[in-house]
Structure 1
Amino acid sequence: MGAARRLVDADTGELILYAPYAFSGAHIQVDKARVAAITESKEFTPSQKFLVLWWIGISPEGMAPLRATGADIAKKVGMTTDAVGKINRKLFERRILIERGRIGNYRLYRISPYIAFHGSGAEQREAIKTCNPPDIPGFDNNTPTRWEAQ
C-alpha cells in the first residue's frame, strides 16, 4: 500500500482537505429520464415505484437475474409475498423487469438494462439488444424531463 496522498494548493502551498472516493458497494448506470418518468407517473402506485428503485439497487451485475423468491424479497422490503408477486408481474408486463430464468414455475427477474445496468457501457449496449424497451407511461426519449426544460 502506498503512502497517503495529499493535495496542496499550487499558489499557497496549503494543504487542501478532501474526501476520498469512498462510496460503498457497486455502482450502476441509470437512465435518469426513465426513472423520473416512472417516479412521477400517476399510473404507478407508491409501492410499485418503491420496488422499481429497490430492483435498480439490487439487480446483479450484467444480465444475471436476482436469485430470490417472492417470499425472500417480501422479507427484505417489508411487504407481503402476494403484494411483491403482483407488483413484480405488473413491472414485468411493462418490461421494467425482465425475466432471466426460472426455478420451477417461479420467474427470476432483474431490472431492464434500459433503466439501470451494472457493467461497462459496451456491455450495456449489448444487453439492450436482448430485450424491448420498457413501457413507461408518459416517457418520450426525445422530450426533456421537466427539470431539464426549466
Structure 2
Amino acid sequence: MGAVRRLVDADTGEAIPYAPYAFSGEHIQVDKARVAAITESRDFTPSQKYLVLWWIGVSPQGMAPLRATGADIAKKVGMTADAVGKINRKLLKRRILIERGRIGNYRLYRISPYIAFHGTGVEQREAIKTCNPPDIPGFDNTTPSQWEAQ
C-alpha cells in the first residue's frame, strides 16, 4: 500500500484536517447566475426549466453527449417524446443545450459548458471556447462569470 498523503499548512507545518465529501456520485461545476436566470425567467415554462435542471444532472463528463433518444428521455422524466423534442429544440436554439453528435436521425445533446461542466477548471475553460454563450433572457452575457474571466 502507498503512503497516506496529508495536506500540511505551509506556514505552521501542521496537518490540515480532511473530511471526505458526504455526497454520493459525481459532482459538477454549475454557473449559479445562469441557472438562476433560467429558473427565474418567465420566458421558460416549468417543463422547460425542469428539463434544464435534468440536463445539468445527466450530462456526461467533459464535452461528451448524452447517448439517449427523445423517447428514452421522455420515459425518465415522465413526459411525451414529442414534448421532450420540442423543449430540447427550444433549449438548443437558445444554446442552453448543444448538439454533440448524431446517431442516424437522432441528435445527441449535452448542457452547455457555460451552464454546467463535469471536469477540471482547465477543461471547462477549453470547452467554452468551442461554443457560444447561451441566450438567457435577463442574463447579461457581457459580464463574464468568474471562470470565463480567467
TM above 0.5: yes
Q: CA deviation at 1:22?
A: 2.1
**Number of the residue aligned with 2:75:** 75
Once residues 20 and 117 of structure 1 are traced to their aligned partners in structure 2, the CA distance between those partners, rounded to angstroms, is 21
**Number of the residue aligned with 1:90:** 90
**Number of the residue aligned with 2:108:** 108
Amino acid at match of 1:65: P
Q: CA deviation at 1:105?
A: 1.5
Amino acid at match of 2:86: K
Once residues 34 and 20 of structure 1 are traced to their aligned partners in structure 2, the CA distance between those partners, rounded to angstroms, is 29
Amino acid at match of 2:45: T
Once residues 103 and 75 of structure 1 are traced to their aligned partners in structure 2, the CA distance between those partners, rounded to angstroms, is 19
Taking every aligned residue pair, what percent have the same amino acid on both sides? Answer: 90
Higher radius of gyration, 1 or 2 = 1
Q: How many residues align?
A: 129
* Structure 1 residue matching 2:57: 3-state secondary structure: helix
**RMSD, aligned CA:** 2.0
* Structure 2 residue matching 1:66: 3-state secondary structure: coil
Once residues 115 and 93 of structure 1 are traced to their aligned partners in structure 2, the CA distance between those partners, rounded to angstroms, is 15
Deviations 1:54-102 (A, max 9, x none): 0000000000000000000000000000000000000000000000000
2:44 maps to 1:49? no
Q: TM-score, normalised by structure 1?
A: 0.81
Structure 1's unaligned 5+ residue stretches are: 2-18, 144-150
Once residues 38 and 130 of structure 1 are traced to their aligned partners in structure 2, the CA distance between those partners, rounded to angstroms, is 22
Q: TM-score, normalised by structure 2?
A: 0.81
Structure 2's unaligned 5+ residue stretches are: 2-18, 145-150
After the TM superposition, list the runs of 4 or more consecutive aligned residues in structure 1 that deviate by more than 3 angstroms. none
* Structure 1 residue matching 2:76: 3-state secondary structure: helix
Amino acid at match of 1:124: Q
